[in-house]
């Protein structure tokens, strides 16, 4: 139980902090969500700066062009960038946290050489083609088909909830290469492909979220041809390949957000103090409780990162425990914010209400809370599989 | 940074678990209930010999020379085993009250909150006063009237007057009590899961039903968040972190015991099932050292004063 950082880790933090202090003041504000090309260019520019300073793909292995940082260093990186108010990973999210690490772990030398450097430099943006209208939390039941034709797969189907699809160059696409049958369970027969977004037959249609923005899209695939050489991992082995990707998502995806939530809570307390609602003991105690909860969630993050040091950086199943607690606390935070702000919380020009609306996705995205509870019950607690 | 337990810490926790499983298993627990909650002095001395109370005294003073993180691991195991008695107060008294370190003296404390005074029933409740040789931080042993206690293993006395709380011990007392709560919360997850695997209804173990599964999963989430908070607070001993740990551990112990009772169905409502003993003890501990309301107020004050990370823009 050692919560102090080593000299090496502190040195890393100090260098990063000094660099951020130097580069951040000259950065313009990030374009609004209405301007996706602008956002893409902005996010790519930030990625390029990270690359030039040696902070790109910090947690990627050295032979994949990363820095081979320990999980603790990655934690420090995410903590410090959020603390300093640095730009969010944004459009580079899928490339840096899903597709890149997957290709680094499972790709051939040629595939790594083709796809990894542009992700690190911010030259190419990826999106994620996993979910389908009938395959959300039950991802393995996806139906988009890829039929082999010579050196190509011919792909037909549709994807949904595809973040950054409008501006992406590549899509990490899950397709069915063998039909579901008694002999072949549904999670077998899936393959992982890198699909160029400008391939003929790809149609992207933006979806509007309940927050009013177009953060993601649906994607229609009509006999799209993708070279077999773009398959990462063996044919029909895409499910295992994908699980590698998802474990990264659950491990460190929320580090910066916990830091941000703690800051938001502090702002909320000062707002309540200024507008007099702090004098309401029920509300004041609710804020106090949230402070305790987010403090514990930060410690749980450190705990999970420490655990992952022992597994070569692959986060364990503790990610499900964290996601269940965090998604609930985040929603509670913004409901409490609405109590502090009263009717002002309804004005759509405020950040609060947009954050409150987007917090609703946290118990749904990346596996609903109900599915996470099944995972915890069956895989950690060992309760029998059921329906 | 490496938050994980060291090998020594893991060994300590495993050792205490084995010791308590052998010395205070289920039969001993039920025997204590049948004995009306009277403290087993023999067991108390054995705990003393095992270093339970002298854990944090320097070796030169006859102690074990360990720190709060180790104490928290030991108390987590005591909470898991539902070990009765004023464990926290006696541990805190080691080195100041003669015999406390060795387990030859039983020391209680004015650690139960509540309004007491006007409008209430008058006086304050003190746990294990009948068995106690001393009260932490007070020169003499007060007299009190026995009161029927909700927890069969925590006898209560009502003492006239306000009694001075042992304020100097408040953070450590709250932290160690939180550790007991975390241990109980983890134990009730195990009890619920075991029952859900064994008990069959509609032709299958009830643990196959999603409704039961989700109760159990949420219990684990509560217990793990609380345990992490307790461990971190033991390392930092920051008052806000201690208050947060107590708040979360109280809630985990109480709500987990209730959910465990629910998973046990009709069995859970019986005296024979151990679930009610965990619930009642969790209720007692939630009133000790720092209540939820006090913890929330302290945390709110700290939040307002805290230097939280600021955004550049």
Q: ipTM strictly over 0.90?
A: yes
CA of B253 vs chain A CAs: smallest distance (Å): 16
Degrees (nearest 5) of the Cα angle B98, B162, B133?
20
Q: Residue written as tokens 């699909």? A: A195
Please report which helix (H) or strand (E) contains residue B249, including its range: helix B239-263
pLDDT of residue B279: 98
Chain A residues with CB under 8 Å of B10 CB are none
| From A79, A132, A249, A293, active-site residue | A249
Q: Does B152 reach chain A within 8 Å, measured CB to CB?
A: no
Secondary structure string (H, E, C) spanning A214-272: CCEEEEEEEEEEEEHHHEECCCCEHHHHHHHHHHHHHHHCCHHHHHHHHHHHHHHHHHH
Give the pLDDT of chain A (387 residues) as one tens digit per residue: 999 999 999 999 999 999 999 999 999 998 987 888 999 999 999 999 999 999 999 989 999 999 988 889 999 999 999 999 999 899 999 999 889 999 999 999 999 999 999 999 999 999 999 999 999 888 899 999 999 999 999 999 999 999 889 999 999 999 999 988 876 788 889 999 999 999 999 999 999 989 888 878 999 999 999 999 999 999 999 999 988 766 665 556 788 889 999 999 999 999 999 999 999 999 999 999 999 999 999 999 999 888 887 766 555 567 889 999 999 999 999 999 999 999 998 888 777 888 899 999 999 988 899 999 999 999 999 999 976
Chain B residues with CB under 8 Å of A325 CB are 221, 225
Alpha-carbon gap, residue A374 to A12, rounded angstroms: 39
Alpha-carbon gap, residue A63 to A49, rounded angstroms: 21
Give the pLDDT mean for B196-224: 97
**In chain B, positions 35-94, which contact chain A (CB-CB < 8 Å)?**
69
Yes or no, beta carbons of A262 and B5 under 8 Å apart = no
Dihedral pair phi/psi, residue B270, rounded to 5°: -95, 160
**Mean confidence (pLDDT) of chain B:** 93
Alpha-carbon gap, residue A61 to A81, rounded angstroms: 21
Yes or no, beta carbons of B225 and A321 under 8 Å apart = yes
Please report which helix (H) or strand (E) contains residue B46, including its range: helix B41-49
Q: Does A88 reach chain B within 8 Å, measured CB to CB?
A: no
Two structure tokens written together for A271 = 């707002």
Q: Does B217 reach chain A within 8 Å, measured CB to CB?
A: yes
Alpha-carbon gap, residue B258 to B239, rounded angstroms: 28
Q: CB-CB: which of B208, B225, B240 is closest to A384? A: B208
Chain B residues with CB under 8 Å of A270 CB are 304
Handedness of CA A99, A104, A110, A114 (dihedral sign): positive
Neighbours of B4 (CB within 10 A): 16
Alpha-carbon gap, residue B89 to B262, rounded angstroms: 32
Between helix B292-305 and helix A255-275 the angle, nearest 10°, is 90
Two structure tokens written together for A205 = 């249609």
Give the pLDDT mean for B289-304: 96
Q: Is A132 helix (H, G, I), strand (E, B) or coil?
A: strand
Q: CB-CB: which of B3, B6, B248 is closest to A303? A: B3
CA of B40 vs chain A CAs: smallest distance (Å): 34
DSSP string, B179-239: HHHHHHHHHHHHHHHHHHHH-EETTEEGGGSHHHHHHHHHHHHHHHHHHHHHHHHHHH--H
Degrees (nearest 5) of the Cα angle B265, B267, B271?
135
Between helix A71-83 and helix A238-252 the angle, nearest 10°, is 50
Chain A residues with CB under 8 Å of B211 CB are none
Two structure tokens written together for B214 = 């989700």
For A310, name the nearest residue in chain B, comparing CA atoms only.
Answer: B4
Yes or no, beta carbons of B193 and A376 under 8 Å apart = no
CA of B72 vs chain A CAs: smallest distance (Å): 11
Give the pLDDT mean for B220-235: 98
pLDDT of residue A317: 65
Alpha-carbon gap, residue B110 to B159, rounded angstroms: 10
Rg for chain A, CA atoms, rounded: 22
Residue from B179, B199, B221, B305 to probe the interface with A (highest A Cβ count within 10 Å): B221
- Annotation says A249 is catalytic: yes
Alpha-carbon gap, residue B30 to B114, rounded angstroms: 30
Two structure tokens written together for A32 = 């609004």
Q: Residue written as tokens 């009830």? A: B206
Q: Is A195 helix (H, G, I), strand (E, B) or coil?
A: strand
Chain B residues with CB under 8 Å of A257 CB are none
Give the pLDDT mean for B281-293: 96
Yes or no, beta carbons of B1 and A4 under 8 Å apart = yes
Who's near B146: CB < 8 A, 6+ residues apart? B130, B155, B156, B157
Yes or no, beta carbons of A306 and B1 under 8 Å apart = yes
Environment class of B260 (CB within 10 Å of its CB; exposed 0-12, middle 13-18, buried 19+)? buried
Residue A286 DSSP symbol: H
Q: Does A378 reach chain B within 8 Å, measured CB to CB?
A: yes
Alpha-carbon gap, residue A211 to B140, rounded angstroms: 65
pLDDT of residue B309: 62
Per-residue pLDDT at B312 exceeds 50:
no
CA-based nearest residue to B186, from B91, B299, B77, B30: B77
Alpha-carbon gap, residue B212 to B196, rounded angstroms: 8
DSSP string, A99-118: IHHHHHHH--HHHHHHHHHH
Q: Does A28 reach chain B within 8 Å, measured CB to CB?
A: no
Residue from B201, B242, B308, B313 to probe the interface with A (highest A Cβ count within 10 Å): B308
Q: Between β-strands A190-196 and A231-232, what pairing exists: parallel, antiparallel or unpaired?
A: antiparallel
Two structure tokens written together for B51 = 């270093």
Who's near B42: CB < 8 A, 6+ residues apart? none
DSSP string, B130-181: GG-SEETT-SSPPP-EEE--SSTTS-EEEESS-----GGGHHHHHHHHHHHH
Alpha-carbon gap, residue B7 to B222, rounded angstroms: 25
Q: What is the pTM of this model?
A: 0.94
Query: Do A246 and A314 touch, CB atoms closer than 8 A?
Result: no
Chain A residues with CB under 8 Å of B311 CB are 85, 263
pLDDT of residue B93: 97
pLDDT band at residue B117 using 50, 70 and 90 as cut-offs: very low
Residue from B1, B213, B247, B306 to probe the interface with A (highest A Cβ count within 10 Å): B1
Q: Between β-strands A170-176 and A216-227, what pairing exists: parallel, antiparallel or unpaired?
A: unpaired
Alpha-carbon gap, residue B72 to B49, rounded angstroms: 18
Q: Does A2 reach chain B within 8 Å, measured CB to CB?
A: yes
Neighbours of A146 (CB within 10 A): 28
In this predicted model, what pLDDT tens digit does every residue of B37-93 receive, in sequence order?
899 999 999 999 999 999 999 999 889 999 999 999 999 999 999 999 999 999 999
């Amino acid at each position: 139980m050692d919560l102090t950082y080593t000299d090496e880790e502190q040195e890393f933090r100090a260098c990063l902090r000094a660099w951020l202090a130097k580069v951040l003041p000259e950065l313009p504000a990030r374009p609004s969500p209405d301007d996706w090309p602008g956002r893409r260019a902005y996010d790519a520019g930030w990625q390029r700066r990270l690359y030039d300073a040696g902070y790109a793909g910090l947690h990627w292995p050295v032979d994949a062009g990363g820095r081979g940082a320990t999980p603790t260093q990655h934690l420090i990186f995410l903590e410090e960038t959020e603390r300093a108010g640095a730009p969010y990973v944004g459009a580079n999210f899928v490339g840096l946290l899903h597709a890149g690490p997957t290709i680094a772990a499972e790709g051939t030398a040629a595939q790594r050489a083709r796809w990894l450097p542009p992700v690190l430099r911010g030259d190419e943006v990826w999106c994620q083609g996993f979910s389908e209208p009938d395959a959300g939390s039950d991802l393995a039941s996806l139906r988009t088909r890829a039929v082999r034709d010579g050196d190509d797969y011919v792909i037909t189907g549709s994807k949904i909830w595809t973040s950054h699809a409008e501006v992406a160059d590549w899509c990490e696409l899950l397709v069915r290469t063998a039909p579901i049958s008694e002999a072949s369970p549904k999670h077998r027969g899936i393959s992982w492909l890198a699909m160029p977004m400008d391939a003929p037959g790809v149609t992207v249609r933006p979806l509007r979220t309940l927050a009013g923005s177009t953060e993601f899209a649906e994607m229609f695939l009509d006999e799209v041809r993708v070279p077999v050489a773009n398959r990462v991992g063996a044919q029909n082995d895409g499910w295992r390949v994908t699980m590698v990707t998802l474990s990264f998502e659950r491990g460190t995806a929320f580090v910066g957000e916990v830091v941000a939530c703690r800051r938001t809570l502090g702002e909320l307390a000062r707002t309540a103090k200024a507008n007099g609602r702090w004098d309401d003991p029920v509300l004041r105690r609710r804020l106090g409780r949230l402070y305790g909860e987010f403090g514990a969630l930060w410690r749980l993050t450190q705990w999970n990162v420490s655990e992952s040091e022992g597994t070569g950086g692959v986060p364990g199943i503790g990610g499900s425990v964290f996601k269940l607690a965090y998604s609930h606390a985040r929603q509670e935070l913004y409901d409490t914010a609405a109590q502090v702000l009263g009717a002002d919380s309804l004005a759509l020009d405020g950040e609060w209400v947009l954050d409150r609306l987007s917090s609703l996705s946290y118990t749904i995205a990346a596996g609903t809370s109900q599915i996470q509870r099944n995972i915890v019950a069956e895989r950690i607690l060992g309760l029998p599989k059921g329906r | 940074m490496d938050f994980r337990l060291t090998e020594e810490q893991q060994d300590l926790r495993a050792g205490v678990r084995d010791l308590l499983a052998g010395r205070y298993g289920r039969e001993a627990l039920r025997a204590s209930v049948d004995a009306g909650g009277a403290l087993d002095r023999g067991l108390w001395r054995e705990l003393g010999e095992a270093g339970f109370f002298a854990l944090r005294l320097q070796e030169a003073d006859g102690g074990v020379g360990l720190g709060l993180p180790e104490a928290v691991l030991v108390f987590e195991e005591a909470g898991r085993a539902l070990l009765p008695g004023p464990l926290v107060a006696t541990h805190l008294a080691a080195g100041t009250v003669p015999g406390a370190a060795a387990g030859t003296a039983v020391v209680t404390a004015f650690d139960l909150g509540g309004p007491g005074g006007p409008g209430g029933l008058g006086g304050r409740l003190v746990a294990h006063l009948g068995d106690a040789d001393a009260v932490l931080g007070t020169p003499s042993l007060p007299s009190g009237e026995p009161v029927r206690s909700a927890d069969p293993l925590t006898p209560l006395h009502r003492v006239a007057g306000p009694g001075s709380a042992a304020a100097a011990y408040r953070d450590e007392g709250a932290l160690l009590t939180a550790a007991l709560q975390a241990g109980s919360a983890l134990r009730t997850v195990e009890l619920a899961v075991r029952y859900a695997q064994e008990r069959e209804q509609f032709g299958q173990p009830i643990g196959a039903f999603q409704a039961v599964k989700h109760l159990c999963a949420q219990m684990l989430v509560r217990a793990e968040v609380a345990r992490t908070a307790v461990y971190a607070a033991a390392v930092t001993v920051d008052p806000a972190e201690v208050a947060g740990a107590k708040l979360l551990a109280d809630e985990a112990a109480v709500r987990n015991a209730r959910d465990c009772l629910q998973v046990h169905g009709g069995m859970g409502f019986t005296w024979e099932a151990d679930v009610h003993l965990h619930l009642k003890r969790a209720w007692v501990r939630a009133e000790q050292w720092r209540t939820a309301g006090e913890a929330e107020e302290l945390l709110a004050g700290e939040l307002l004063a805290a230097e939280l990370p600021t955004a550049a823009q």
